[in-house]
Homo-oligomer: A and B are copies of this chain.
Amino acid sequence: MKNLSKWIWMMALIPWFLCSAAHAQNAPPNRSLEKQFDSHLSSADIKARLERLSARPHHVGSPYDKENAEFILSQYKTWGFDARIEEFSTLFPTPKTRLLEMISPVKYTAVLNEPPLKEDRTSGAVAEQLATYNAYSIDGDVTGDLIYVNYGVLSDYDELERMGIDVRGKIVITRYGGSWRGIKPKVAAEHGAIGCLIYSDPKDDGFYVGDVYPKGAWRNEFGVQRGSVADMPVYPGDPSTPFVGATPGVKHLPLKEIKVLTKIPVLPISYHDALPLLQSLTGPVAPDHWKGALPVTYHIGPGPAKVHLKLEFNWDIKPIYDVIAMIRGSVYPDQWIIRGNHHDGWVNGAEDPLSGQAATMEEGKALGELAKTGWRPKRTIVYCAWDGEEPGLIGSTEWVETHADELRQKAVAYINSDSNGRGFIGMDGSHTLQHFINDVARDVIDPEKNISVWQRARAARLLASPPGEKNDIRSGKDLKIGALGSGSDFTPFLQHIGIASLNIGYGGESEGGVYHSIYDSFDHFIRFVDPTFAYEVALAQTGGHAVMRLADADILPFNFADFAETVSGYLGQIKALTQNMREETLELDRDLQDNVFTEVADPTKAYRPPKAQDPVPYLNFAPLENAVSTLRKNAEEYQKARFDLEESGRKLAGDQPMRLNEIIFRTERALTKPEGLKGRPWFIHKIYAPGLYTGYGVKTLPSVREAIEQRQWDEADQQIIVVANTLEAYSREIRQATAILQSALK
């Protein structure tokens, strides 16, 4: 029965399915306007801007951070934008004492310093550079045996337990990678560790990958990755002002009441400093997938290496300067297309974030040129240069929290970028915008290949896909975009308000192991990232076209069928996840009953068999199945009505366009629930969230998926109903939109 009805549906939908790739918008993009826009893009201007912005260190609270904000402001004003700086005040710790020493079996005092290089002109600005540290580590003075815990994620601790090794009372040394860095001290503390070191193993971004800086692009032995370690999957932004904008004068929580600071002191180090520590560990040899590229046998310990870690920070409140620049819409001034990229860096930040910022500003410049010729967008365009992204998406979060009500009303979409480089287009975001951003990419020419960036991305996907998945890509269908987790400024828009969001950028051919170090410089960028600035221009084209198309569309190009198909896929994933967990649990149980683990174990090595786990019950997925089924049907009806209207040549009349568009862009709000996710109420989106134990990595249908992963079966059953209800509400919005289209067809 179900299959039959599905078949009848598909027959009815063939016309728009066949044509959807070419005509999903009722008015085609204004290509002559886009050509005009493109004509104003200048790689030379971007290059000069990047050099200007990256000339000095510009972290939060630094003089050049403010200077850059004022420079960006003046530029947008010059280009005719209505621009202003919005200032916030945020907790921003900087290092006061940093001591790391091995006290036995041999003495070693860590260097904790990145030396200037004569080949890198800005690396010598020592006085203005932030020392190497992890922001929002607590103060601490700890001494203990060292223990190597690989990436320091949950599964690593499971392996330690199997080896009979306990980290309680120990100082863990982890390597960067495998998760967002803030997860490492969090998980370490949960397991009883008293301190956490994070080093950059050359396997991940050093000599193993390529020649090191300045000979090559990759992290040299002294390079250190700075970065925040606040518990951002709980909430981002100023740790001392959760949920409210940190406007000047706001009340800040005292340190003791801030839940997202680390529980133990944390320090990032170079592999120069890690090597003597790792060399002094004994105990079991680490499993192969734990081993890095240092010329040592990776032992786990604990000890005999004993280290002393002492950290003290200046816990200051510092100003944040967001630049907000607008062009008011001529038809729908209260429908905002928001484009953003941050401007603060950990040091000089040429690639992160200025490669994105310099290109985004080029969009602003070109839009300004268009405006000079009399062009006005139908919707309001808002360009944002965020401060304080590095310590925790602070500029964007505080702005979003401050303007939450207005954004709920007006925000159509948010388009983010961050770093940018040479190579392939990256597109992630809300799946309602999947078809839209595919179309944008189809019209941008790859500077290296003279084919579209879309076609090049398609070719890369083809090469990476197993044979069974190639035909879908060959057919010319849209490329599937990834879901957004966290790690950049889209998070507050998408996951705290429910604004359809995209994150775009180029990469894959640029080289670099200078992330968050003093070597992320203009000199590095022009040698290894995008020497001709051609992909800087490509990003400006991509972002600019997307903004203009969204701003000028008669009917906003949201595609609900794409979203429905994607959510249906996520549902399939969590069902498969549950089934796999069920089978694995049964297999484990059988293996335990058969004594298989103890029969195999080497008696000369400490070993504990895994623990038996509770059986995985059958969950009632029916509510979600039904909700997804309804969603698919409603979404397809909407897309069909949209197509029929276009084919009919009729137009919406009166307040119909305004009403329709408002429904369309507010649908994403219907995917949120005010109570938020379990234990982290700030995250209210029911489809996309960063994982509580991944940090950047996305968990789709997060309340259900994480409950299942954490074996909270009752919670999972309840959340299936909550998410089902969310999707039902979303379907109702779509039906309202469809009704407007259908009334115009009568």
Contact = CB atoms under 8 A, between A and B. Distances in A.
Contacts of A596: 459, 462-463
Contacts of A295: 202, 207, 293-295
A591 B462 CA distance: 8
B210 A297 contact: yes
A604 to B, nearest CB: 8
Contacts of A456: 599-600
A250 interface: no
A207 B462 CA distance: 39
A448 interface: yes
A592 B363 CA distance: 37
A208 B297 contact: yes
Interface of A: 202, 207-212, 216, 218, 285, 291, 293-297, 423, 448-449, 451, 455-456, 459-460, 462-463, 467, 470, 474, 509, 583-584, 587, 590-591, 594-597, 599-600, 602-604
Contact of A599 (B210, B459, B470): B459
A602 B509 contact: yes
A368 B379 CA distance: 99
B590 A474 contact: yes
Nearest to A207: B297
A579 to B, nearest CB: 11
Contacts of A212: 297
A595 B459 contact: yes
A209 B287 CA distance: 9
A642 B354 CA distance: 81
Contact of A603 (B297, B448, B459, B600): B448
5 contacts: A202-B295, A210-B285, A293-B295, A449-B599, A470-B590
B587 A467 contact: yes
A456 B596 CA distance: 8
Contact of A584 (B467, B594, B595): B467
Nearest to A206: B297
Given A216-B297, A587-B470, A451 B602 contact: no
Given A462-B594, A583-B467, A599 B208 contact: no
A83 to B, nearest CB: 38
A158 to B, nearest CB: 16
A297 B587 contact: no
Contacts of A448: 602-603
Nearest to A462: B596
A479 to B, nearest CB: 14
A207 B296 contact: yes
A599 B451 contact: yes
State the copy count for this chain. 2
A460 B599 CA distance: 8
Contact of A455 (B218, B587, B599): B599
Contacts of A294: 295
Contacts of A210: 285, 297
Contact of A293 (B293, B460, B603): B293
Contacts of A602: 423, 448, 509
Nearest to A604: B509
Q: Which 10 A-B pairs have the closest CB atoms?
A: A459-B599, A295-B295, A459-B596, A459-B600, A207-B297, A509-B602, A460-B600, A448-B603, A462-B596, A211-B297
A474 B590 CA distance: 10
Nearest to A596: B459
A271 to B, nearest CB: 10
Contacts of A297: 207-212, 216, 218
Contacts of A208: 291, 297
A202 B295 CA distance: 9
Contacts of A459: 594-597, 599-600
A594 to B, nearest CB: 7
A470 B587 CA distance: 9
Nearest to A208: B291
A451 B456 CA distance: 59
A429 to B, nearest CB: 23
A555 to B, nearest CB: 34
Nearest to A216: B297
A628 B270 CA distance: 62
Nearest to A586: B467
A209 B216 CA distance: 29
A651 to B, nearest CB: 40
Contacts of A218: 297
Contacts of A451: 599
A728 to B, nearest CB: 36
- Residue of A208, A448, A470, A590 with highest tally of chain B CB at under 10 A: A208
Contacts of A597: 459, 463
A619 to B, nearest CB: 20
Contacts of A455: 599
Contacts of A463: 591, 596-597, 600
A583 B509 CA distance: 30
A460 B594 CA distance: 12
Given A208-B297, A463-B597, 20 more contacts: A207-B296, A207-B297, A208-B291, A209-B297, A210-B285, A210-B297, A211-B297, A218-B297, A293-B293, A448-B602, A451-B599, A456-B600, A459-B594, A459-B595, A459-B599, A460-B600, A467-B587, A470-B590, A474-B590, A474-B594
A287 to B, nearest CB: 11
- Residue of A459, A583, A603 with highest tally of chain B CB at under 10 A: A459
A459 B609 CA distance: 13
A599 B218 CA distance: 26
A600 B461 CA distance: 9
A123 B715 CA distance: 65
A148 to B, nearest CB: 15
A451 to B, nearest CB: 6
A402 to B, nearest CB: 44
Contacts of A216: 297
Contacts of A209: 285, 297
A460 B597 CA distance: 8
A474 B455 CA distance: 50
Nearest to A470: B587
A468 B273 CA distance: 46
A388 to B, nearest CB: 35
A418 to B, nearest CB: 22
Nearest to A215: B297
